[in-house]
Structure 1
């Protein structure tokens, strides 16, 4: 493929996938700056050729020698690519020039491999040159967690164990593994979602206020939370984690096959497509407040959200009324597909008697700010260009996230599941996930349209 062929292809793709109007003059300016080259990751001549092309582009468009390399590759190639970039001096920073590399998840497949990958990358690049990207962190609602907590006097004073009963994090997907069965069967829901996406949501929800919004100030506080998560013993893995695999079912009125019938998946696969966990954070703010998390494929709704459930008010005032119980207040942070915040509280229903009903106050970004939220990548790529690492994981955070899930990985490997598949597609997961909360006198908040 030539550069001109590539420009034509990208132009056609933009017509198909752009979510808004594309200004012709602006697009023409942009597309002239696109170039294409191919090569083998392992071949040194590929990087020599790349260096020559970048020098030519630099001269033609005054890029000032600033480059970042986005590695949308198999994780096994991260280390060799950065090594070759460094040996070709493409990672060398001179004067005010910067050279950076972006790597996608999965960042390792367990704690040992994550440590090895960090060591390999840090052999050829400085930590400040490495941007471990997670598109969830580019979403407005995720970033708004800090604004909600620390810019509003009504929330921060009650954001602790005295007022919050539990926190639930749900990452639900309606899709199966699509055409990624071969990859997914070697990973599973726990590896694919928990050490990265969900750990980031936990840290932003639970962290202490940073001294500033500088990258390491924020990430220092996130790292403290990851290290404070109570490690699970082998016995606790059996009682505080749940794994599941979807069977046949119905989603949006259409029948869908079981996981083991997906292309590339072995017919006797033991890989989980659903996971639920109960975690505790050993610090003063969150002592004894459970963090429940769940993520899964083929669930009823595509929805990512965080539920902050507050403690119930005393019932004493309502003893002699028709009110049977008081529902807890819930603050819900909607991450995707809709981005916003809702607050559930009790209000008196009209009538002569004292009866209560639940009321939701809703805020949606699209309604209030008149813009469609971005995918997250736009913000993150811009942050890489300006050198802001706030929304990117640091090496110690990656390793701490793997430390949290390692006990479950070890126990599950030693004790293969006996009841897979154990939840029908189109449901909220196996019954054991509901029992995980019911044992504590709680239940999941399921958001369905």
Structure 2
């Protein structure tokens, strides 16, 4: 069985070579890039998907595996509702069991303020036909029996789902390949090919691809490539630690989180565990550049981020990572094929302790695998999904802010429509790139 999450030692499934021409090149083989390529191919276009390391090698195989509508930004929610249906369709198009289950998602409220926040969000669910509801103290205890802790109540969405990310995203890539997408792993894009002021293709480490349209879905690496071409994007990346336990008795078939821990059952009989509301930022040059844009977020949640003095060598915002290079240079993307941060050992101990304490009758909690991922995040905690006015022919889908896995098929369909000029079907004003430069006030999402 493949070791999870996907890493640089994972065998290459799509070695290439890539063609010399295409209608669209998609940069980045995470869930957003894979789904975008799939829907572009289904529109009849010749599509090349280039991934510097492995398909789903970074955050797309390291996330919690939640496919949730609950707690979404109101502008994301309609896309997420569509994504829920797309996940079911896509799961039926592969003979790979991606672990797709409808078990619900529950946010456990430790305080009355948390319950008030959930109640404030509820009208957004109702407008979009989502079955979210508030639970009383007694109903919460009945939904998840055996907890040692009593909660004020909860927000619960029964129709929310889960899947195994490290299986699901490569399975989606298989669907895309069968639809005609040329997928090439271990192939970094060194720079965009620009002619007469517009994008005319890309220059990869293996050569040039002529294409009138390019989609950048590079996750934590997106801002580095954009800066190389003079486009400023205030995107940062934060480290999040997660773990998988050995097999344990079933305590709840869905995903749940309180202010300390998040958990959901896995297809292998264990649980995925993560720290609720905690992440770490390695401070680098981009962090200083983007600080003014992030002040609103920092004031709203001053203790949700732990600051670390510097990123490891080769990380996108490490002090020594080049910000400029030529097409003949080995790029930063080749020097680090897979962004594979070490997990926070202290948090791993806390996760084991907290899960065992919350369910005292579950038995010994043993970790069989632990990892971390770098989540690409934006100052207002919603992504950039837009055409780039300064570089005609370029479309960007990045900064999913920890929301990318579940919404992936929906955002992929949206990005494909932006490229082809088809009807998007959703209001994307909230996700425009210019919001960071046109004087718009910073409006935070609900961050639930």
Question: With structure 2 as the length reference, what TM-score do the two structures score?
Answer: 0.22
Bigger fraction of residues in helix: 1
Bigger fraction of residues in strand: 2
Q: Larger relative CO (CA 8 A, sep 6+): 1 or 2?
A: 2
Q: State which structure, 1 or 2, has the greater radius of gyration over its C-alpha atoms.
A: 1
Question: With structure 1 as the length reference, what TM-score do the two structures score?
Answer: 0.22
